[in-house]
Structure 1
């Protein structure tokens, strides 16, 4: 069904390292504070841009936040998200990815050397 509403996805990488955004007028605000408002269904439809001070409806935006250390992400922000823990890839995962990425390369010797190097570095 067509709704005539854009469904953008915004990815905020490494939210655990987020700092403060400062406008050209000197106004500053923690990024996490701004995200709390736009991730809350009750306030997302009538949010205010902290830099330009204009009202915006961000209720149709999907958000994906990444973090290396969840301990550095405030609990209120975690409560507004579905937290997925992605384990570090193991050597079998890396080798499978390497094999897929190099499948079309005809230089068998170079591919084999790269695979051996990956095994040494990751193992």
Structure 2
């Protein structure tokens, strides 16, 4: 919350989940993710960190269009990987509606549909979310 004693935001907002993709290049499973996000606009945000040399070509209708953040080279097992994760999180924190943050790689797939994940993470008891994810 904003300050002690303030119980709610002074404006209407819908809690969102930030999906942060840490990749080395293309998202081979992007069609699956497109289907996952379809119909739930406004309940999620997408951020992509890839190698600076990689230029993604997503159509304007894609949930991934324009979602690349400024990136630097990151190497597996090196501190640069943590730096990339911090860049993703820093960009996601710029949206005040993002309350939950999920770090993903290009090989991750959703096991449940979006509404199930949103319910268990955002709506249901937070302790349930910790067991679910």
Decide: shared fold, TM above 0.5. Answer: no
The structure that has the greater radius of gyration is 1
- Larger % of helix: which? 1
Of structures 1 and 2, the one with the larger relative CO (CA 8 A, separation 6+) is 2
- TM-score for the superposition, normalised by structure 1: 0.19
